[in-house]
Structure 1
């Protein structure tokens, strides 16, 4: 498990348990409250990169065995730290995920400052984050919902594919087919591959080889094997 709880001792880089307090440090002073998920009465503080999220832990404990294990650890007694308005000290958890990815997971699971009456067309960033973090944190319902959304566009049979445009949801770009191939590989959802790989074959060579940059700055690229499949497929199609 790649989640680590914070420690009240600033010189301990890899503590085993979360804590409700952290001594003032230069790094701590650089942390920013997330504008969407900093709830004054929240009972858990989760830190990703330089962003602090204050949220309700109940939905996280219910939906993710990984969060249940880490956020349910007992908190040290006698430590100083900020309190939420309910009077209890929130647990503090450091995670290795990007703030952008974590925000998408919270939007799927938790109430925030902006009510969501009806979901908009999902972006690739939202779907990708929900699948990748949901897969890692064992949030099965989010993973399945995201895969079902992709299956509406990346269909199993070419006979049901509208061939006018590359297959993709309304908010996706053409090069996001690369990410869908990687999602299919990671989750063993082979039904996404025929039209996702077809979408990759329709990219120019530079896009196909270099991939694209996700919203958190990381690079999304096909494996060497899938790049080879796409070049071979394009030659056969020609």
Structure 2
């Protein structure tokens, strides 16, 4: 399920979809009869209808994901995110976007094409119940960068108007499932760096999540972002 093109969902989805997507972010479990793969015709493709998620079924149907995302959904590739421990709300949103071809990746389009709403909910529940992967090793040359990244993550930099990442993602980097804020603890470093760069270059528009990231990253230098990348990839150390 590796992404072949690295572009944030918030950059990829047309603006017209954002308001209903944010309002339906929780994608609450609904009645019987999930819509067919691809979502209801003419409806919001990011809104899902599903019964109580079944992690056991999610484990079964996510076996093919491990080829890219690693055994037990713990990534071994610096450019590929691990799914273990990611919040269900966030994983559901990403899989729905891939299924609808709103987030670019031909590999993921094929992987998600035949997933029903219930399948997506089950995979997300399974992944969310796993422990995040271990911390990534920090090279000796990056030790000072990690220290700088830790300070920026937890305290920000008031004189430079840099907001602490922990305000939204929490001191442990685990985010908030209720608000759709992603867990970034021990995020694959190269992937994390690419996502930060994408968010910094996100155009101005009135949608909370991308605007919050864009505003937070605007005053950061490339070195600042590299420091945060090194820190969040190694938070468990």
**TM-score where L is the length of structure 2:** 0.24
Q: Greater strand share, 1 or 2?
A: 1
Q: Greater helix share, 1 or 2?
A: 2
Structure with the larger RCO, 1 or 2 (CA within 8 Å, 6+ apart): 2
**TM-score where L is the length of structure 1:** 0.24
